[in-house]
Amino acid sequence: MKMTIAGVTARAAVLAAGLVGVSLPAIAAEVNIYSYRQPELIQPLLDAFTAKTGIQTNVIFADKGLAERIQAEGENSPADVMLTVDIGRLDGAKQLGITQPVASDTINSSIPAEFRDPEGHWFGLTSRARVIYASRERVEQDTITYEELADPKWKGRICTRSGQHDYNIGLFASMIANDGAEKTEEWLAKLRDNLARKPAGNDRAQVKSIYAGECDIALGNTYYMGLMQTNDKEPEQKEWASAVRIIFPNTNDRGTHVNISGMLMAKHAPNAEQAKALMEFLASDEAQHIYAETNHEYPVEPGVAPSEIVKAWGSFKPDTLSLSDVAKNRKKASELVDAVGFDNGPAS
């Protein structure tokens, strides 16, 4: 059983209580992880790390607020490593001042420059493409661009989750970086008017809506398709997924927008050496293969193949825009979403 962070803190308190002269067994090496990634998605990686190094892992999971928690805990924070999704959360943690740079030739040789912070404060581990889910029955075309989503031919045929969700903000920020703020605002207004309904639900819900005939295309992340296609606990999701195929936008020009899951070391990491060992392991071939097979994401390390399910979706050209440039435009993207009333839906 993994030791909880509370257990680690309690044990530290006992040691600090002044047990001078008392002979105690050596404390096993460990690393404390604050994770936005669901435990079942990262446990195979942590098990492999412990088997390889003997270093134990202690995990706290939450879907929000972990960066702010580390900030509030300050120098007393037990956090060593934070795992998260989306460039926004990675860059946001750096802006909060809760990270420290990590210098590692091992990590840098595995992770391409576009997937890591120039100053070493965060590193991507896997990528996911923001693609078009398209009805197999009602959409014939095989190519599309993000810009084309503003075409009147799609009026009443598009579904998406909230424009303010991190995944969409990342895409819209990339549009600003590529096309400029003014054109992106015009595009967002036209995309809003092409929606079949107000933005709602998660990416899986968009696939369900296509299956139900509520819309014909939707914005979504690639890995959700893999999770639905292999979901034995909820077989209805397999049925939804079977009605939809993936189209990679902008393959014939700048490429499809990609975002990342990633890692960082906490500013006051009490187990910095072990934390660095974990980060180097997560960047390794072994861990990249585990990620690919478990989560249906794309490894960021060149040469590590995606899973067979992911391969079946076909190859695509990723946008090579630096994620640091995407992060710089996130605030403006959020402002534009509100400016056009995107989440109010069509005819707003």
pLDDT tens track for 21-79: 333 334 459 999 999 988 888 999 999 999 999 999 999 999 899 999 999 999 999 99
> How far is the C-alpha of 328 from the C-alpha of 233, rounded, in Å?
40
* 224 known member of a binding site: yes
Whether the pLDDT of residue 10 is over 50: the answer is no
Whether the pLDDT of residue 81 is over 50: the answer is yes
Contact present, 280 and 247 (Cβ < 8 Å) = no
3 CB burial (10 A radius; 0-12, 13-18, 19+): middle
Higher pLDDT, 11 or 299: 299
Whether the pLDDT of residue 20 is over 50: the answer is no
- Calculate the alpha carbon distances from 113 to 159, 298, 320, 321 in Å: 34, 16, 10, 11
Instruction: Output the pLDDT for position 2.
Output: 41
Whether the pLDDT of residue 1 is over 80: the answer is no
Please provide the average confidence, as pLDDT, over all residues in the chain: 91
Contact present, 102 and 274 (Cβ < 8 Å) = no
* 36 known member of a binding site: no
Over residues 238-252, the mean pLDDT reads 97
Nearest Cα to 262, choosing from 225, 237, 286, 287? 287
> How far is the C-alpha of 116 from the C-alpha of 329, rounded, in Å?
17
Max CA distance (Å), the chain? 79
Residues in the chain: 348
The 8-class DSSP code of residue 108 comes to: H
Tell me the pLDDT tens digit for each residue of 158-207: 999 999 999 999 999 999 999 999 999 999 999 999 999 999 999 999 99
Instruction: Output the pLDDT for position 24.
Output: 33
Instruction: Output the pLDDT for position 302.
Output: 86
Tell me the pLDDT tens digit for each residue of 101-153: 999 999 999 999 989 999 999 999 999 999 999 999 999 999 999 999 999 99
Nearest Cα to 206, choosing from 196, 222, 218? 218
236 CB burial (10 A radius; 0-12, 13-18, 19+): exposed
- Calculate the alpha carbon distances from 123 to 10, 20, 79, 163, 323 in Å: 31, 41, 17, 25, 11
Nearest Cα to 330, choosing from 170, 186, 189? 170
Nearest Cα to 38, choosing from 60, 65, 70, 9? 60
Instruction: Output the pLDDT for position 21.
Output: 39
Tell me the pLDDT tens digit for each residue of 296-338: 999 998 889 999 999 999 999 999 888 888 999 999 999 999 9
Q: DSSP string of 253-286?
A: TT-B-EEEEEEEEETT-TTHHHHHHHHHHHTSHH
Instruction: Output the pLDDT for position 6.
Output: 44
> pLDDT category, 348, cuts 50, 70, 90?
low
Over residues 74-100, the mean pLDDT reads 95
Two structure tokens written together for 227 = 């999770």
Kindly report the three-state secondary structure assignment for every residue of 136-177: CCCCCCCCCCCHHHHCHHHCCCEECCCCCCHHHHHHHHHHHH
> pLDDT category, 234, cuts 50, 70, 90?
very high
Whether the pLDDT of residue 9 is over 50: the answer is no
Neighbours of 133 (CB within 10 A): 31
Instruction: Output the pLDDT for position 175.
Output: 97
**Domains detected in the chain:** 5-126+260-304 (3.40.190.10), 127-257+314-344 (3.40.190.10)
Over residues 239-257, the mean pLDDT reads 96
Nearest Cα to 319, choosing from 238, 241, 257, 240? 257
> How far is the C-alpha of 200 from the C-alpha of 301, rounded, in Å?
34
Contact present, 5 and 58 (Cβ < 8 Å) = yes
Two structure tokens written together for 154 = 């799609």
Instruction: Output the pLDDT for position 65.
Output: 95
> pLDDT category, 293, cuts 50, 70, 90?
confident
Residues 6+ apart with CB under 8 A from 73: 79
